[in-house]
Amino acid sequence: MLTPLVLEKWSGVISTVTLGVEKDKSRSMVEIGGQSTLPLLFKEGAIPHKPKIAFEIWDIPPVDFDAELISSYGQAMQDPLAWADICVNEYKAELLCLRMQGTHPDFGNKGPQEAAKFVSNLLNKVKVPLIIIGSGDDAKDNLIMPACSQAAQGQRCLIGCATADNYKTLVASVLADGHNIIAESPIDINIAKQLNILISDMGLSLERIVINPTIGALGYGLEYAYSIMERARLAALAGDKTLASPFICFVGQEAWRTKEAKVNPQQGIIWETVTASSLIQSGADLLVMRHPQAIASVGSYIETLFKG
Amino acid sequence: MLIIGELINGMYANIAAAIKEHDKKIVQACALEQIACGADALDICCGPASRDPLKDMPWLVEIIQEVTDKPLCLDSSRPQVIQEGLKVAKNTTIINSTTADLEKLEILIPLALKYKSKLIGITINAQGIPANSDQRLELAATIVTRASEMGFSISDLYLDPIVMPVNVAQAQIKDILTVIAEFKMLAQPSPKTIVGLSNISQGAKSRSLINRTFLTMAVASGLDSAILDPKDNELMDTLITAELILNKHIYCDSYLDAYRKE
């Protein structure tokens, strides 16, 4: 006798977050989230959107990027706009994740006007939706991110990263300019939940939040990120709206700083690919990646998984 | 935990007056207020003041449905009154309640089936209130057996052990807590469990404190649902915290707000 499959039925659903705007036909749009089941359990509920990959670019030529990464983009990397252009036109990037590294006090210390100008130029150059994140220096981010947000007003970008200690300025800008926000917590589900509540208390709806759970690469805490993401997803699917946000995972930066990537560039590509593929299993909706070859492999892996 | 708000009851003077005057605003406000405080469902009882519960029950159902789609718990000892409510109900319904008497079960289980309603079964019968947990279990088993013979889904059945006031039957309360866990083992899938919370403190002085202490203990015993006053803020906070400690919600500093956002 055949044993029937026991299928779980969930009451919750992950919010759908839209990047880009419908009415602007010259630009593309991307949707993430919307699942009513755990990752890849197609029989148990809807999975309306595949995980998406964003190419990570900077507003300045990269500093301490691995030689392998630099060679894959060539000379173009010296000009961030040309770098963006290659990602979109040569590698067919659906999304770009712009890190405003050049605004960091140690990496050029660009001011808000210059930062905003770069965002405007980038929006003119490429027509894919943008994720824009600060350099990680809280004081500086609070100065330049409002300018970047305003430069992209109405484009419904994804802007980050809000943290429990520094979220108010960013939330206010995102609200004013009609974007979505990244809420970052240090591999800690309690803080992830708390931050989502703090953000929504300021009037930005829970449906416009994407959680950055903070991940580690393979061998560097990947399994901790996995279990936090799984636990958040289980709670969300059981009805906890405060955790029902899609996940963004910064894979490239984590994979390329491992010693395995540093000793052998081929290994770096493998590290980035395996880290990203594993995170898809734990529910990642957006993967921010660096190496075109790793991105191509993960892209085709996603296609295979979603063939059904 | 399914929280059923108890305040729409003709026992209370404001609701009794509203029923008498057919003043729907008062009832609707009471419904919305309970929901805002965290009620998942609303108990509706015409109470002793109603001269014509056969008409008052459907009136209450209809006016409450105008303002909410939350489940309605139709509360009467008379099956005809419940049926009049079921006839006009569009929201999910819970019949409150049947006893373990066969003649009651033969009427109310078919009604629940006909109107796709959930059903509360209280463990009393014509002989009265059971004196110990064995008798409670026996009556619960009678209800479960009859329901399952008639094809009623046991996971839609809520068993009520009948909570006694602590100042009347102090010796029984521990038994009642034990039996909540035992009810769950009567069938697979398990029946649900429910209590009418305010009974525990009937006639006592520190009512709210007794209510929330008992509720915490009952939740720890596996209670699925309670009919209570959701406007008792300390009671609700205690309930949310008890569930948090049992790992039913994920902790965060604002967990009380988080629960209410859900």
3-state secondary structure chain B: CEEEEEEEECCCHHHHHHHHHCCHHHHHHHHHHHHHCCCCEEEEECCCCCCCHHHHHHHHHHHHHCCCCCCEEEECCCHHHHHHHHHHCCCCEEEEEECCCHHHHHHHHHHHHHCCCEEEEECCECCECCCCHHHHHHHHHHHHHHHHHCCCCHHHEEEECCCCCCCCCHHHHHHHHHHHHHHCCCCCCCCEEEEEHHHHHCCCCCHHHHHHHHHHHHHHCCCCEEEECCCCHHHHHHHHHHHHHCCCCCCCCCHHHHHHHC
Q: Which residue of A has its CA nearest to B255?
A: A194
Give A236 to chain B, closest Cα distance, Å.
10
Q: What tens digit of pLDDT does each residue of B234-262 get?
A: 999 999 999 999 999 999 999 998 888 76
Instruction: Establish, for the pair of chains A and B, how many residue pairs have beta carbons separated by less than 8 Å.
Output: 38
Structure tokens at B133: 């947990």
Mean pLDDT of B29-46: 96
Name the amino acid, one letter, at A73: Y
User: Is A197 close to B258, i.e. CB distance below 8 A?
Assistant: yes
**pLDDT higher than threshold 70 for residue B199:** yes
Range list of H helices, chain A: 67-73, 80-85, 112-125, 138-151, 168-177, 189-201, 222-237, 251-255, 259-263, 265-281, 292-305
User: Is B257 close to A239, i.e. CB distance below 8 A?
Assistant: no
The single residue listed with the structure tokens 């210390």 is A109
User: Is A197 close to B251, i.e. CB distance below 8 A?
Assistant: no
Q: Which residue of B has its CA nearest to A231?
A: B250
Instruction: Map out the domains of chain A with their CATH numbers.
Output: 49-305 (3.20.20.20)
Chain B residues in contact with A229 by the CB 8 A cut-off are: none
Q: Which residue of B has its CA nearest to A195?
A: B252
For chain A, the average pLDDT equals 95
What does the alpha-carbon distance between residue B6 and residue B70 come to, in Å, rounded to a whole number? 14
Give A167 to chain B, closest Cα distance, Å.
16
Q: Which residue of B has its CA nearest to A194?
A: B252
What does the alpha-carbon distance between residue A219 and residue B179 come to, in Å, rounded to a whole number? 49
For residue B129, the cross-strand partners are none
Mean pLDDT of B180-199: 96
Residues written for chain A: 308
Give A80 to chain B, closest Cα distance, Å.
40
Give A241 to chain B, closest Cα distance, Å.
6
Q: What tens digit of pLDDT does each residue of A93-141 get?
A: 999 999 999 999 999 999 999 999 999 999 999 999 999 999 999 999 9
User: Is A193 close to B250, i.e. CB distance below 8 A?
Assistant: yes
The per-residue pLDDT for B260 is: 83
The per-residue pLDDT for A67 is: 87
User: Is B261 close to A231, i.e. CB distance below 8 A?
Assistant: no
pLDDT classification of A4: cutoffs 50, 70, 90 = confident
Q: How far, in Å, are B16, B37, B46, B95 from residue B8 at the CA level?
A: 9, 14, 8, 15
pTM to 2 decimals?
0.88
Percent of chain A residues past pLDDT 70, beyond the cut: 100
**Before B189, cis peptide (omega within 30)?**
yes
The single residue listed with the structure tokens 């029923």 is B19
Q: What tens digit of pLDDT does each residue of B55-105 get?
A: 999 999 999 999 999 999 999 999 999 999 999 999 999 999 999 999 999
Cβ B86 vs Cβ B57: under 8 Å: no
The per-residue pLDDT for B261 is: 76
A169 burial level (CB within 10 Å; 0-12, 13-18, 19+): middle
Q: Which residue of A has its CA nearest to B259?
A: A240
Chain B residues in contact with A197 by the CB 8 A cut-off are: 252, 254, 257-258, 261
Give A277 to chain B, closest Cα distance, Å.
27
**pLDDT higher than threshold 70 for residue A308:** no
Name the amino acid, one letter, at A169: T
User: Is B258 close to A235, i.e. CB distance below 8 A?
Assistant: no
Give B108 to chain A, closest Cα distance, Å.
29
Identity of the residue in A197, A206, A231 whose CB atom sits nearest the CB atom of B252: A197
Q: In whole angstroms, what separates CA A12 from the centre of its chain?
A: 23
Q: What tens digit of pLDDT does each residue of B108-151 get?
A: 999 999 999 999 999 999 999 998 899 999 999 999 999 999 99
- With b for 16 or more beta-carbon neighbours within 10 A and e for fewer, the B123-150 pattern comes to bbbeeeebeebebbbebbbbbbebbbee
Q: Which residue of B has its CA nearest to A241?
A: B262
- Least confident piece of the model among A70-74, A163-167, A246-250, B202-206: A70-74
Q: What tens digit of pLDDT does each residue of A6-45 get?
A: 888 999 999 999 999 988 788 999 999 999 999 999 999 9
Give A187 to chain B, closest Cα distance, Å.
14
Identity of the residue in B250, B254, B257 whose CB atom sits nearest the CB atom of A240: B250
Mean pLDDT of B200-223: 97
Query: What DSSP state is assigned to residue A96?
Result: E
**pLDDT higher than threshold 80 for residue B167:** yes
Query: What DSSP state is assigned to residue A140?
Result: H
Name the amino acid, one letter, at A165: D
Cβ A210 vs Cβ A181: under 8 Å: yes
Nearest of A161, A88, A72, A173 to residue A122 by alpha carbon: A88
Chain A residues in contact with B250 by the CB 8 A cut-off are: 189-190, 193, 231-232, 235, 240, 243
User: Is A197 close to B250, i.e. CB distance below 8 A?
Assistant: no
Residues of B in CB contact (< 8 Å) with A are: 249-254, 257-258, 261-262
For chain B, the average pLDDT equals 95
What does the alpha-carbon distance between residue B76 and residue B45 come to, in Å, rounded to a whole number? 6
Structure tokens at A162: 């809000």
The per-residue pLDDT for A5 is: 82
Query: What DSSP state is assigned to residue A218?
Result: T
pLDDT classification of A2: cutoffs 50, 70, 90 = confident
Q: What are phi and psi of A212, to 5 degrees?
A: -100, 100
Q: Round the CA-based radius of gyration of chain B to a whole number and report it.
A: 18
Distance, first Cα to last Cα, chain A: 25
Instruction: Map out the domains of chain B with their CATH numbers.
Output: 2-232 (3.20.20.20)
Chain A residues in contact with B249 by the CB 8 A cut-off are: 235, 240
Q: What tens digit of pLDDT does each residue of A252-262 get?
A: 999 999 999 99
